[in-house]
Amino acid sequence: MKINYFTEKNVKVPHLRRQIIARWIRQVANEMGKTLGELSYKFTNDAGILEANKLFLNHDYYTDILTFDASSEGSEFITGDVLISLETVASNAEKFGVPYEEELHRVLIHGVLHLSGIDDKTPEEERLMHFAEDRAIVLLHRLIGDRPLLAD
């Protein structure tokens, strides 16, 4: 199991509690019947996510996350790349009235849930995704306890 973190130029990696995040992701994957393989997060800005959307999906709009599954078909391992726009995460946090740190963690686990087989294209799938995200956030708060979600 390995989790990598990268950024594009002029984008700072958030101060994540990496050991807790790794344990959290591993537990969520296990609950989904999966084992964590190699996972890479790349943090970008809105321009970067728009460029990736156009290049890989022919979509001309902004999103908070793009997930690229690199697992073998039928594999028990979660392996893939997750591209996250920190600008969109911040604007979504404001839009939904939640702390930035919580929205960031929700997006981190959203990618893992996609790699675990949960989709969100239909209203029913979207409800299942939100339910799985909410469960994962509760687990994260149990792991972190009273500490802040982001490290100093």
Give the angle subtended at the CA of 122 by the CAs of 117 and 126, to the nearest 5°. Answer: 65
Q: Along the 152 residues of the chain, how does pLDDT read in single tens digits?
A: 799 999 988 898 889 999 999 999 999 999 999 999 999 999 999 999 999 989 988 888 889 999 999 998 888 999 999 999 999 999 999 999 999 999 999 999 999 999 999 999 999 999 999 999 999 999 999 999 878 888 76
DSSP string, 21-84: HHHHHHHHHHHTT-EEEEEEEEEE-HHHHHHHHHHHH---S--SEEEEE-SPTT-SEEEEEEEE
What is the value of pTM for the model shown?
A: 0.93
